[in-house]
Copies of this chain bind each other. A is one copy, B any other.
């Protein structure tokens, strides 16, 4: 018997709630007040909606003093949101290619907590081709070579593996129609990019702006070429 899809759909069918969910798609944790501003509603209305989203298991909440920080519950929630964005975009602009219309978003964007878009997919497939990563059925895992590779990069794999989430997870990428890397390792990669200053997050969207040298370093590190080496952003 099919699961009931109306429950989840209804949670996303409200303007205020959808705005808050989309604001969280960048993977950031936002407070109730910030989300109320995002959705342009009062604090009490936001409180009511957020309660529904948490009970509905689409969001998780963490309390710090008087502040409550909300985040998307899982990668699956993020993916559904991207899927909705995709279809909504197609219906609005039928001639558009799959995925976000914005070329910047297509190139590199934050999906939840990891790198997506052309660069995200390029990374994943490069790792596959170099046999650092292996797919088996719906599982993805590092090979022995891959373990050595990332260990040499300074990744504490033992620590990452202690997390409740899988180390490597395949995330379906809507702009590229292929897979990019999610999971603890995917998150590490994004964090590393940011820590190294190779790219910066866009405050108002999910775009990840790579610098010229940052892009080159990223591609060199993971050994692949992009379809275009031309970049936005300054060095």
Contacts and interface: CB of A to CB of B under 8 A. Distances in A.
A13 B88 CA distance: 15
A113 interface: no
A85 B18 contact: no
Contact of A80 (B6, B22, B83, B118): B83
Interface residues of A, number: 49
A67 interface: no
A142 interface: no
B84 A9 contact: yes
B2 A6 contact: no
A141 interface: no
A229 interface: no
A174 to B, nearest CB: 8
B57 A91 contact: yes
A187 interface: no
Contact of A89 (B3, B18, B85, B175): B3
Nearest to A106: B138
A205 to B, nearest CB: 9
Contacts of A2: 22, 85
Contacts of A177: 138, 140, 170, 172, 179
A181 B70 CA distance: 38
Nearest to A15: B6
Contact of A5 (B3, B7, B8, B84): B84
Interface string A63-103: 00000000000101101110111111111100001110000
B178 A87 contact: no
A104 to B, nearest CB: 14
Nearest to A3: B88
B3 A13 contact: no
A12 to B, nearest CB: 4
Contacts of A97: 138
A137 interface: yes
